[in-house]
Amino acid sequence: MKNTLILTLILCSLSALSQKKIETKPTTNCQIATIQRDSVMVKLKEYPTQLKMLEAFQKQLQSEYDFKKLELETKVKNYQENEKSFTDGQKQEKVQDLQKLDEELKRFGQEAEQKLLKKEQELLQPMNEKIFKAIETVAIKQGYMQILDRKSVYFSLTACDATKMVIEESNK
């Protein structure tokens, strides 16, 4: 009976130790890796140039919008200053013109947003394709079954982070 009790305690201790080893000694042989996609994007050689092109395009659209807005504000101010000298027919005609200009300004703003998004997609698409190819190459070379964006993962071992490898592959 005493031997059985000692044997049971030894087995329980060994079992606890082996479980502890499994919990504290994670494997670095990852089948699934993660990357920080945003980090990869900003480290691409062409990223600063593409970003400058996008910012220049945005400034151009903003300048056009500001010009049209100033034109509308000037006409509104002119109308307000001269309103008393207009006949009812002239007032109605000028108000309609101002409303038309206001609608055109709003439409231009919406179109500018769409143009900016389209330009952004146009500039980023080649970089996204390059990143995808690099991810695919790294996955094949390293034997990963999947590479996930870190934003979509709640937990991942740092040993399973392939960001640096993807950056290096993207910039080849």
Question: Which candidate, 126, 124, 107, 131, places its Cα nearest to that of 57?
Answer: 124
Across the 172 residues of the chain, what is the mean pLDDT of every consecutive 10-residue run?
Answer: 41 39 45 91 95 97 96 93 90 93 96 97 95 94 90 83 89 88
* C-alpha–C-alpha distance, residues 77 and 94, integer Å: 12
Q: Calculate the CA 136 to chain-centre distance.
A: 20
Q: What is the pLDDT of residue 28?
A: 56
* Report field, pTM of the whole predicted structure over 0.85: no
Q: What is the pLDDT of residue 7?
A: 39
Question: Which candidate, 42, 46, 37, places its Cα nearest to that of 166?
Answer: 37
The 8-class DSSP code of residue 161 comes to: B
* C-alpha–C-alpha distance, residues 127 and 44, integer Å: 8
Q: What is the pLDDT of residue 131?
A: 95
